[in-house]
Structure 1
Amino acid sequence: MILAAALVSLIGGAVAAAPGSASDEPHRHERVEGLVFVQTNKPLGNTIRVYQRGDGGELSLAGEFETGGLGGSTLNPPVDPLASQSSLVYRDGLLFAVNAGSNTVTLFRVDGSELERLQVIWSGGLLPVSLDVRDDLVYVLNAGGEGVVQGYRLDDDELEPIRGAQRSLGLDNPNPPPFGDAPAQVGIDPEGEVVLVSTKSHNIIDAFRIERGGRLSEEPVSNPAEGMPFGFTFDHRGGLMVTLAATNAVIRYRLDEENGKLTAVGPAVPNGQMASCWIQRVGDYYYVANAGSSTLSSYRIDEDGQVVLVAAVAAKGDGGTIDMTTSGGFLYVQNGAAGTVQGFDVLDDGSLKLVNTTTGLPQATNNGGILNGMEGIAATP
């Protein structure tokens, strides 16, 4: 795998533009605004499409860039091949993408509306599906086999594996794993103290303590989370908002950074939809993509810290609503079955107004249990 990753990193860079040459001087990242990135997850060559966001939220294609890796899939997913959240992440002028089919991660520099590919590196396991970045630490979740979290240090726009930051989840899955058994997301808490992993059908949210140098604790704290925990995000109070895909609900937890334990803040709040998997915060509201019913639900947190359902159906998708991102106060949603991205204006009361539908993206098509289709979306502010 390491040799394959080294070879693939030598392959050329962009479909729509040639890659720039690396500078001998340290790169100072400029603030980039108004871009939305969509991962096509193509099995014969993963690419990232870059869209320019207009003032009204509309998207126009600016280019398509090769990751240097291959798209992949879990086994028999309905409309979401990676069955995960955060497979594409933008941070401070850099874009990070997983290549599930070649067990690698790609690092890009965002230069205007173009992507300069800097590195393709082994993911540390099989079928990488999610990653997170905080300061100079990057953690990648590999869903295949036992399930592996691999940590990296980001130094001068280059990822270096951290010794003692590769940890098994002990899942004993095949590769590729069934979509319901595959872990869904890896995330770092706002204080940079804990790495969390949601494990779907195992009904566990694992918490690894981050130790000196980015190493991870030998064993995680395994927090029970009934209802198939899938996507999560931290709220403006430091709580953890988690979707429960089996019960179609959202639950809020308080995280103790000292010991990694999660404590529920009130009961889970259902929305009556189907397959509630992805969650995205926009201002004071939290939007959940329900793949089975192809809808979006909206939530907020009340003065007592309790989760409140605002609208069971805040908007309807084109077909198979999956991953989401936000940019400029707009919410952008992938529709896996339709091969579209919808853009919504988020109004003051949390309601959504459709402003744009981008077509022509890879639709979910089943090929012997392996799903070809896009997944992964990120954006600049």
Structure 2
Amino acid sequence: MAALLRSLSSRLAVSILLGIVFATTVSAAPSRPTGGKSSSGAAKALYFIANDEANAVVALKVGADGLLSTGSVTPTNGAGSVALGANMQPATPDALVSQSALTIAGNSLFAVNAGSNTLSMLSIDPADPTRLSLVGIPVPIPGEFPNTVAASAKHNLVCVGTTGALSGISCTNFSPTRGLGPMDVLRSFDLNQTTPPVGPTNTVSQVFFSSDESALFTTVKGDPPTNKTGFLSSFPVQKRTKNCKGSAPSAATLSTKETRSVPSGTAVLFGSQSIPGTNRVFATDASFGAALLSIDTSTGQATTLATGSVQGQVATCWVTLSPATGTAFVTDVGVNRLVEMSLDDAKVLSELDLSANGDPGLIDLRAAGNFVYALSPGNGSTPAAVTVVDVSGGSGTARQAQHFELGGMAGRNSMGMAVWG
């Protein structure tokens, strides 16, 4: 892993020296995340995937005080996998080089199986949200190495990003009771990758819906030393329509018409979040920090409103938006800290040093209620753990509330983060 991080750091340093990344700052209307129960209300359960050869979803109980306790491990009936680093060694502890390896829509949970090229759907029991049950069987995906998934409860539509030799986006409709339909056509990204992919650059980072769920966005990392340009992809959702008088409406689908953007000042776009109630996206960029983007709702074109550099970073890659603070929190696989950034201009607002808990760094994270939950898969010598951070005092008040070691529930391959409440 150390070699991987050194490789990424050297690549990113080259991009900066070449002037690929630059900072811009403009004024922006204040924004505050609000919305769905999985992000704004207090959590009752937290989930991630083990991503081992026999993949499973790990569910942890979240108490009324926001703290974690042991829950359950439920097989997905699929296989996990691990990407390769530039040194051709396993890319742990960022095994899927992505954000959002699982996601939730209502009481349905979706998890990727990178080793079997399938998607699993599980049902969450509201009476005990750590009790999960498979709905149907995992469905085959037309791409290879699925590493990120997004679901729209509004449209009953779930979409998967793949980043192997067959990379791109494919989608299907879902029913909470009947499960997943067949995946549709692969909307290809020509990444010239392998299966498993060699990363972390030149790979699909994350799929996610716009705040109104009218479009699907995908961030794809560039590779500056080889002049490979990263981009943000946008596909509009085609809404349900009635085929003829009196007939039932057809299911929503994802268009095959794509808009690609290369927002100025970005190079290695990674984890991103749509800012609720706006046409803006807060996106991390592993080469310098994060960017605030604006998406033209008529064309899908993305432009940069502001960028913010994170000093001392190795690779800033994952992000969540906190309803308690109205700000973003980002993590770095090589630096064990939580960095708070503004949704107005992407400036760093505060940093919480977590090095005392012994984790090597943090990956996927989610905010819920007054807390932020961040996963550290460990590195083989340190155990996997979830750090719970209390942000109830508002911006600038983050403090560690709990460091929950996962024991035998998960290890260095674990990925993703989702909450239910």
TM range (shorter): 0.7 to 0.9
Q: CA shift at 1:78, angstroms?
A: 4.5
**Deviation digits for residues 229-252 of structure 1 (CA, Å, limit 9, x no counterpart):** 0000012452100000012x1111
User: 1:297 maps to what in 2?
Assistant: 339
User: 1:327 maps to what in 2?
Assistant: 368
Q: CA shift at 1:300, angstroms?
A: 2.0
CA distance in 2, matches of 1:352, 1:182: 32
| Aligned residue among 343, 348, 361 for 1:309 | 348
User: 1:5 maps to what in 2?
Assistant: none
Is 1:173 paired with 2:182? no
Is 1:374 paired with 2:419? no
**DSSP-derived class of the 1:161 partner:** coil
CA distance in 2, matches of 1:347, 1:271: 26
The answer to whether the Cα contact below 8 Å between 1:162 and 1:214 also exists between their aligned partners in 2 is: no
User: 1:38 maps to what in 2?
Assistant: 48
CA distance in 1, matches of 2:336, 2:272: 19
Amino acid at match of 2:170: Q
Write out aligned runs for 1:1-381 (5 A). 34-43=44-53, 45-76=54-85, 77-111=91-125, 112=128, 113-119=130-136, 120-135=138-153, 136-157=156-177, 158-161=179-182, 163=184, 165-179=185-199, 180-201=201-222, 202-212=229-239, 213-225=251-263, 226-238=266-278, 239-247=280-288, 249-283=289-323, 284-301=326-343, 305-313=344-352, 315-316=354-355, 318-337=359-378, 338=382, 339-350=384-395, 351-359=397-405, 360=407, 361-364=409-412, 373-381=413-421
**Deviation digits for residues 216-268 of structure 1 (CA, Å, limit 9, x no counterpart):** 44342111142300000012452100000012x11111111211101111234
**Deviation digits for residues 68-127 of structure 1 (CA, Å, limit 9, x no counterpart):** 111111112242101111111122111111111111111011112310111311123111
* TM-score between the two structures when normalised by the length of structure 2: 0.75
**Deviation digits for residues 120-177 of structure 1 (CA, Å, limit 9, x no counterpart):** 11123111111111121111111111412111111343211364x5311121211111
The structure whose residues are more often strand, as a share, is 1
**Deviation digits for residues 168-193 of structure 1 (CA, Å, limit 9, x no counterpart):** 11212111111222211011112222
CA distance in 2, matches of 1:172, 1:161: 26
**DSSP-derived class of the 1:294 partner:** strand
Calculate percent identity across the aligned residue pairs.
22
The answer to whether the Cα contact below 8 Å between 1:124 and 1:148 also exists between their aligned partners in 2 is: no
Amino acid at match of 1:222: R
The answer to whether the Cα contact below 8 Å between 2:50 and 2:411 also exists between their aligned partners in 1 is: no
CA distance in 2, matches of 1:357, 1:162: 39
CA distance in 2, matches of 1:327, 1:105: 25
Provide the alpha-carbon RMSD of the alignment.
Answer: 2.1
**Deviation digits for residues 3-43 of structure 1 (CA, Å, limit 9, x no counterpart):** xxxxxxxxxxxxxxxxxxxxxxxxxxxx9951111311112
The answer to whether the Cα contact below 8 Å between 2:336 and 2:354 also exists between their aligned partners in 1 is: no
The answer to whether the Cα contact below 8 Å between 2:307 and 2:347 also exists between their aligned partners in 1 is: no
Q: Structure 1 residues 274, 237: CA separation in 2 closer, same or farther (over 3 Å shift)?
A: farther
Amino acid at match of 1:245: A
CA distance in 2, matches of 1:32, 1:242: 24
The answer to whether the Cα contact below 8 Å between 2:108 and 2:176 also exists between their aligned partners in 1 is: no
Structure 1: runs of 5 or more not aligned: 1-30, 365-372
**DSSP-derived class of the 2:342 partner:** strand
CA distance in 1, matches of 2:310, 2:346: 10
